[in-house]
Every structure is written in structure tokens, then in C-alpha cells.
Amino acid sequence: MTRRTTILGLSGIAAIATLAVWAAAPPAEVPYPANYRDWTHVKSMVIEPGHPLHGTFGGIHHLYGNEAALKGYRDGKFPDGAVIVFDLLEAVSADHTVTEGARKVVGVMHRDAVKFAATGGWGFEGFAGDSRTQRVVGPNAATACFACHQAKRDREYVFSEYRP
């Protein structure tokens, strides 16, 4: 066995070991944002039929941020632990009003630069309706969420801005 072969062999073993660990570790999960309704309300918006995102995000949505997220909104740097909630409700139109209907999804961006390095340092998840356990994104964050959020790289991938 040449020295070169030995090195390659060791590298190969190391690579296999790394892959094994990687495969065994469960992907980092975004926790349900308990008590987010008591967080600061960042802004709101209605997305109506006819909008290209209506299928996914149609309704009235409110953004909420915890204290770390508010720091990020202020100075552009979101520290680990920052959590932003996108709370999407049905928009009920009647009698010249739009009121809030049933909850459609609780979308979450959870900042952890190491755990979620593959998606810009943010974990993305959605919880269906009022469920705290029914996940609608799971392992698809890169395509289902981050693909669009990449457009906001210069704002740490955050679309919303705090409305005073």
C-alpha cells in the first residue's frame, strides 16, 4: 500500500463516518412559537384573489416579532434566537369590511446561524391552522421558503419591515 493510497483510504473512512453521523442526526426542527400573540405586532397586509401569491398566502396576515427579532428590524442584524411569525388568517369580505376569519397557517422564521446554515441562518416552518404540531414545510424549507427569501439577502432574508 502506498502512502497516497493510505491517505485516500483514511479520507474515505472519515467521509463515510461523517455521512453516517449526518444521516443519523435528525434535521434541526423549528419549535412552535409559543406565546407569539403577546409579541410585538410588526405589520399587516391583505393579499386578495388575483395576486400571484394568493394560492399560498391569500388572506390577512400579521407579522409578529420577539425581542431579538425587533432588534433585527431596528439595526438590520438578526441575532440567534430571533423569531418572526407570519400569522395568516382568512380574509372575510362582507358589507364593505374585511374581517379576520379562521387561521390558515402560522409561518415561522427562527434564527440560528449554525443549525440553519443551509437556509441563510434561518429555520423555516409552517404550522397548519391552529395546530402546534402539524408541520407543512418540514424538510422542504430550501425550496418552499428560502428560494423566495433569497431575494432579500441584503436584509438577512427578511421581507417585512417594522411599521412604526
Which residues of the shown chain bind a copy of itself in the complex (CB under 8 A)?
Answer: 37-38, 40-41, 43-51, 54, 60, 62, 64, 95-100, 130, 163-164
Smallest distance, a copy of itself to C-beta of residue 9, A: 59
Q: Yes or no: say if 86 and 106 are a contact pair by the CB < 8 Å rule.
A: yes
**Least Å distance between CB 102 and a copy of itself?**
11
Nearer to a copy of itself, 51 or 152 (CB): 51
Tell me the closest approach of the beta carbon of residue 124 to a copy of itself, in angstroms. 22
CB of residue 97 to a copy of itself, shortest distance in Å: 6
Q: Which is nearer to a copy of itself, 38 or 75 (CB)?
A: 38
Residue nearer to a copy of itself on the CB measure, 16 or 45: 45
CB of 66 to a copy of itself, least distance (A): 12
Assess contact for 146 and 122: CB atoms under 8 A: yes
Nearer to a copy of itself, 26 or 50 (CB): 50
Q: Which long-range contacts (CB under 8 A, 24 or more apart) does 54-61 make?
A: 57/88, 58/91, 59/88, 59/89, 59/90, 59/91, 59/101, 59/104, 60/88, 60/89, 60/90, 60/91, 60/98, 60/100, 61/86, 61/87, 61/88, 61/89
Residues 85 and 78 sit within 8 Å (Cβ to Cβ):
no
Measured between alpha carbons, how far is residue 85 from residues 23, 35, 40, 91, 160 in Å?
30, 11, 10, 18, 11
Q: Given the complex with a copy of itself, which of 70 and 141 has the nearer CB atom?
A: 70
